[in-house]
Amino acid sequence: MKTEDFQFSTMIANRRKELKVTQEEIAEHVGVSRAAVSKWEKGLSYPDITLLPKLATYFNISIDTLLGYKPQLTKEQISRTYTQLAQQFSQKAFEDVEKSIEELLSEYYSCFPFVLKMAQLYLNYFPKSTDQQSILERVLQLSSRVKNLSGDLALVNEATMLEAFTYLQQGKPEEVLSLLGKDVQIQFGSDHLISTAHNMLGNLEKAKETIQISYYQNLMQLLSKATEAMMLELENADYIDETIYKIKELIRLFDLENLNFNTVLIFYYKAAKVYTLKGQSEQAIEMLRSYVKLCKKIQFPIKLKGNAYFYLLSQWIENTAQLSSEAPRDEQSVKKDLVQTIVQNPAFDSLKKHPSYQAMIRNLADYLKVEVNR
pLDDT tens sequence across 62-113: 665 333 345 578 888 898 899 899 999 988 999 999 999 999 999 889 899 9
CA angle at 280 for the pair 278 and 282, rounded to the nearest 5°: 155
- Judged against a pLDDT cut of 70, whether residue 327 lies above it is answered with no
Which pLDDT score is estimated for 355? Answer: 92
Q: Is 172 helix (H, G, I), strand (E, B) or coil?
A: coil
Residue 374 falls inside a structural domain? no
* pLDDT > 70 fraction of the chain, expressed in percent and rounded: 93
DSSP letter for each residue of 73-129: --HHHHHHHHHHHHHHTTTS-HHHHHHHHHHHHHHSTT-HHHHHHHHHHHHHHGGGS
The answer to whether residues 242 and 173 belong to one domain is no
Is residue 53 domain-shared with residue 150, that is, in the same domain? no
pLDDT of residue 314: 85
In this structure, are 266 and 166 located in the same domain? no
CATH, residue 85: 1.25.40
Average pLDDT, the chain: 89
Cα 255 to Cα 16, 49, 261, 264, 282, distances in angstroms: 54, 56, 10, 10, 25
Tell me if 48 is assigned to some domain. yes
8 pLDDT above the threshold of 80:
no
Reference 283, options 294, 272, 268; nearest CA is 272
- Residue 249 inside a domain? The answer is yes
> 61 and 85: one domain?
no
Q: Are residues 158 and 99 in the same domain?
A: yes
pLDDT at 120: 95
The verdict on residue 185 lying in a domain is no
Task: For residues 168-187, give the mean pLDDT.
Answer: 91
Instruction: Write out pLDDT tens, residues 268-309.
Output: 999 999 999 999 999 999 999 999 999 999 998 888 888 899
Q: Which amino acid is at 238?
A: D
| Domain co-membership, 159 together with 301 | no
Domain holding 38, by residue range, is 3-67
In the DSSP assignment, the letter for residue 326 is B
Which of 180, 209, 239 marks a domain boundary?
180
Specify if 373 maps to a domain: no
User: Do 50 and 104 fall within a single domain?
Assistant: no
Q: What is the mean pLDDT of residues 348-368?
A: 93
* Burial environment of residue 10 by CB neighbours within 10 A (0 to 12, 13 to 18, 19 or more): exposed
Confidence grade of residue 321 (pLDDT, cut at 50, 70, 90): very low
Same domain, 320 and 204: yes
Among 67, 92, 109, which residue terminates a domain? Answer: 67
* 210 and 150 in a common domain: no
> Is residue 363 predicted with pLDDT exceeding 80?
yes
Binned at pLDDT 50, 70 and 90, residue 143 comes out as very high
Count of domains for the chain: 3
Q: What is the rounded CA–CA span in Å between residue 58 and residue 55?
A: 5
Residues 13 and 129 in one domain: no
Q: What is the pLDDT of residue 65?
A: 38
Chain segment 203-241, per-residue pLDDT in tens? 999 999 999 999 999 999 999 999 999 999 999 999 999
CATH of the domain at 45: 1.10.260.40
In the predicted structure, residue 19 carries a pLDDT above the cut 80: yes
Looking at the structure, do residues 312 and 351 belong to the same domain, yes or no?
A: yes
* Maximum C-alpha span of the chain: 82
Residues 197, 148 share a domain: no
Say what the pLDDT of residue 82 is: 92
User: Would 334 be classed as within a structural domain?
Assistant: yes
